Amino acid sequence: MDKEAQKKAIYDRMSSRRRRFVDRIGFEKWDPFQEPKHPIEIRTEATKRTAQELYNEYFAQNEVSKRTSAYNRGVYEFCMGIFGRDDRYRGIFEFCLWYAQELQRRNVDPASIWDD
């Protein structure tokens, strides 16, 4: 059976409501053999991890003494900023690298800047 015959057979077996839909778009334009849509591409960063994997690994490998919802949200937003290649997060990242070097150069413990 060729495609046109299959198409006609499918149409004949449809409910009247579904036939009205096909009639509205036009039998010639209707394609019952369409390929399924592909799922969205899963984005990864330079180390081939997703944002969720990066987030989970960060917390698995780092003890955070005062982990609040704001802290969690900040980590997650930064992960998403990396994946979106957002210049705002690039600036924050580069500043943090520079500031860590400044603290080291001045012999200041990075954890001490958060102490009250």
* pLDDT bracket for residue 116 (50, 70, 90): low
Q: What angle do CA 93, 99, 105 make, to 5 degrees?
A: 145
- What Rg, from alpha-carbon coordinates, does the chain have? 27
Q: Is the same domain home to 68 and 101?
A: yes
Q: What percent of the chain has pLDDT over 90?
A: 43
67 is a domain residue: yes
Contact of 82 with 45, CB cutoff 8 Å = yes
* pLDDT bracket for residue 64 (50, 70, 90): confident
pLDDT of 38 reads: 65
Q: Is the pLDDT of residue 50 over 90?
A: no
Q: Is the same domain home to 17 and 58?
A: no
Q: Is the same domain home to 29 and 57?
A: no
Q: Is the pLDDT of residue 67 over 90?
A: no
Lowest mean pLDDT among 17-21, 46-50, 78-82: 46-50
In 3D, which of 105, 83, 81 has the Cα closest to residue 93? 81
Q: Domains in the chain: how many in total?
A: 2
Q: Is the same domain home to 59 and 110?
A: yes
77 is a domain residue: yes
pLDDT of 111 reads: 81
Q: Structural domain of residue 11, as residue ranges?
A: 1-34
Q: Name, of 23-27, 44-48, 108-112, the range with top average pLDDT.
A: 23-27
